Structure 1
């Protein structure tokens, strides 16, 4: 039986040569095809950079968020694992023509995307959980201060099977088959060193009719994110990484759909149709909390008022929010199982996400939502060049 290290060595070799960008003309043809079918699509950033892709960029229509348990035997195998993930991500985001299969061996690519893998249509974002910083790999002394596993908050209904993990992987693209192709490829090349703990697929609705996309409660989601100029203060850590919070939140949509629009708007603090705060006209309008100290127009218990009071004292609590809708069908009782994959990025989880979460304790909206999973992850700095790999500074 092939042992884990042998498998990883083979995977790493395949990672370097498994998909070769052998034809500039072919790559250009693929890009022209993508442009023809999606005229408004813009090319995504390249793989290399100070920061990983998938954070600064606006969310793409399709995503999957995956948590892994690392089963690598030792630190050397963990390093091989991170090199393999890096090489596969580099290849998959670049695109090209997969190498041909051997005479009797399996094909080097699943073929889901056809004979050529399109480039420029995939974002890959990788993080590590607090559980990786244990004694297995000698990383205990390198765990960032204040970085822990996600706790259970008041109003949570967490399922252990849907929580935490040693590694996080988010794959985002314009098309679902691109996401699935990348996940199968990475899972294939990391088998024996990491196994999936949980996985959830999500989507971003198109703007309807314009502006910020809506979640499955029918409200626009993520209107008041920090400006890019504030990312250095609120999002990035000193080495180019960030801290990711994932919260899997079921929405009790059948219950929600039975209450009036006016009540829904009071719970959120915004108009459902326009996304404007209840004291404004446009979604970009800033709510005038100071002019409404008793909450006559926007209730003191509304979601937007608790989440972001817009005071000098709470300015540093702001997070970069990225939300994706999910639909998992129906549960055992025949109720719709759908909701939100809430993700957010910040420099420091306790002073940002957790500060917001504590303000939201017992908000009226908790009657209509059930957080059931997720986790905290350290998003690693970006890969600077062809010689670099994800987690290099951590493992060196």
Structure 2
């Protein structure tokens, strides 16, 4: 391990700047497609990419254990993550490492690496704030270890972590290339704890993508184009206290957001034997259109006030429990970002597939946990099995070329 660390500090970090993917200027004029991507989502900014942006077709969600030896190496790790994210999202030609050295790039994307709309989102877990790096006093007060909720079947090998990384793009090879690049440059400083590959289905026939139960997933998200809603529901609020805690949010969290990841297996063989009417009663929506059972279109607002006993939309339906649409529950809304996964079959030959549920919020206790407790024992729990994931804090964005992930946290 010490050899790996020395190699990491001596070689990989230098390669992150000198021998890695060069910026577009080094590769000549960018293609129109690449220029459009860059203009759409520049790497630098107040917030990280991958939170408000449209969902890409492919993703990988990875949790890491930090193996850096001390605060200095941890700082270099975050500098390297920043360098790699900046280079990979910008695209360009790999640098020349010389005749005797390994190639600067895996070559998976060819000789000129495209940015390809890659989104990179980095988070930190509660365990990073133990006594290894002197960060205990800087932990965001709402960042805790994800508990075992009723109806969960959590497996320790698939839970928690010091850091989270989500890489999203529209092509599998773009995501694979980015993961290999990050793993190469951070060897000796962090080690994969668990990972899950996912995909987002195209709208069929239109509107919100569907999950593997056949229902549209994430219809009632808050409007990401509304800055006031995002300030109230998504972005951390330094100086304020959250639900059930006395400590205020530290200043360094400005621009970040609390991230919940849930790995949820869907028992599809059983689900596929349930009648359509019963399925729709459990969700509270039409499977074909996504509309609430008292509406015609997916974006129609359900009229709960006109149906107080749940004659049309059952009181136990998923949409009614998760979002009752009352003034008292307006601040518990979350920003959902879901992906499907398919891991083949399990040890007994059952299909192993489901949902990578991710959501962003200002306050986990006020938002995700409040919703989760309302969903206790809902009818859908007979057909799903949450088995992994964790709580993380998605770091503030990288402001400019002199900034790096977690700089305010570590300084």
TM-score norm. by structure 1 comes to: 0.96
Q: Secondary structure at the match of 1:271?
A: coil
| Equivalent pair of 2:118/2:168 in contact (CA under 8 Å) | yes
Q: Which residue of 2 aligns with 1:250?
A: 265
Q: Distance in 2 between matches of 1:3 and 1:274?
A: 53
**Which one is further off, 225-234 or 303-312?**
225-234
Q: Distance in 2 between matches of 1:357 and 1:11?
A: 42
Q: Which residue of 1 aligns with 2:244?
A: none
Q: Distance in 2 between matches of 1:46 and 1:166?
A: 27
Q: Secondary structure at the match of 2:278?
A: helix
Q: Distance in 1 between matches of 2:39 and 2:54?
A: 12
Q: Which residue of 2 aligns with 1:153?
A: 149
Q: 1:342 aligns with which of 346, 357, 360?
A: 357
Q: Which residue of 2 aligns with 1:167?
A: 163
Q: Which residue of 1 aligns with 2:298?
A: 283
Alpha-carbon deviations, 1:251-274, whole Å to 9, x = none? Answer: 000100001100000000000000
Structure 1 residue ranges without an equivalent (≥5): 36-40
| Equivalent pair of 1:132/1:166 in contact (CA under 8 Å) | yes
Query: Aligned in 2, Cα 1:34/1:22: closer, same or farther, shift over 3 Å?
Result: closer
- 1:274 maps to 2:276: no
Q: Which residue of 1 aligns with 2:385?
A: 370
Q: CA deviation at 1:127?
A: 0.1
Structure 2 residue ranges without an equivalent (≥5): 238-253
Query: Aligned in 2, Cα 1:254/1:114: closer, same or farther, shift over 3 Å?
Result: same
- 1:111 maps to 2:103: no
Aligned CA RMSD, in angstroms, stands at 1.6
Aligned length in residues: 390
| Equivalent pair of 1:27/1:96 in contact (CA under 8 Å) | no
Q: Distance in 2 between matches of 1:323 and 1:371?
A: 14
Q: Secondary structure at the match of 2:167?
A: strand
Q: Distance in 1 between matches of 2:171 and 2:267?
A: 28
Q: Secondary structure at the match of 2:357?
A: strand
Q: 1:121 aligns with which of 117, 124, 130?
A: 117
Q: Which residue of 2 aligns with 1:195?
A: 191
Q: CA deviation at 1:14?
A: 1.1
| Equivalent pair of 2:4/2:187 in contact (CA under 8 Å) | no
Q: Distance in 1 between matches of 2:319 and 2:39?
A: 33
Q: Distance in 2 between matches of 1:15 and 1:339?
A: 36
Q: Which residue of 2 aligns with 1:15?
A: 16
**Which one is further off, 12-21 or 228-237?**
12-21
Q: CA deviation at 1:12?
A: 1.8
| Equivalent pair of 1:62/1:174 in contact (CA under 8 Å) | yes
- 1:77 maps to 2:73: yes
Q: Which residue of 2 aligns with 1:237?
A: 236
**Which one is further off, 53-62 or 7-16?**
7-16
Query: Aligned in 2, Cα 1:390/1:153: closer, same or farther, shift over 3 Å?
Result: same
| Equivalent pair of 1:48/1:383 in contact (CA under 8 Å) | yes
Q: Which residue of 2 aligns with 1:176?
A: 172
Q: Distance in 2 between matches of 1:3 and 1:365?
A: 46
Alpha-carbon deviations, 1:179-203, whole Å to 9, x = none? Answer: 0000000000000000000000000
Q: Secondary structure at the match of 2:340?
A: strand
**Which one is further off, 217-226 or 6-15?**
6-15
Q: Secondary structure at the match of 1:393?
A: helix
Q: Distance in 1 between matches of 2:24 and 2:369?
A: 48
| Equivalent pair of 2:361/2:367 in contact (CA under 8 Å) | yes
Alpha-carbon deviations, 1:207-266, whole Å to 9, x = none? Answer: 000000000000000000011221110000130000000000000001000011000000
Q: Secondary structure at the match of 1:293?
A: coil
Alpha-carbon deviations, 1:124-153, whole Å to 9, x = none? Answer: 000000000000000011111132000000
Q: Distance in 2 between matches of 1:132 and 1:271?
A: 43
| Equivalent pair of 2:198/2:341 in contact (CA under 8 Å) | yes
TM-score norm. by structure 2 comes to: 0.92
Q: Distance in 2 between matches of 1:55 and 1:62?
A: 15
Q: Distance in 1 between matches of 2:38 and 2:343?
A: 30
Q: Secondary structure at the match of 1:196?
A: strand
**Which one is further off, 120-129 or 100-109?**
100-109
Off by >6 Å, runs of 4+ in structure 1: none
Q: Which residue of 2 aligns with 1:38?
A: none
Q: Distance in 2 between matches of 1:22 and 1:284?
A: 41
Q: Secondary structure at the match of 2:164?
A: strand
Q: Which residue of 2 aligns with 1:309?
A: 324
Q: Distance in 1 between matches of 2:170 and 2:337?
A: 16
| Equivalent pair of 2:38/2:90 in contact (CA under 8 Å) | no
Q: CA deviation at 1:46?
A: 1.1
Alpha-carbon deviations, 1:17-75, whole Å to 9, x = none? Answer: 2111365775524x45999xxxxx89640110000000000110000000000011100
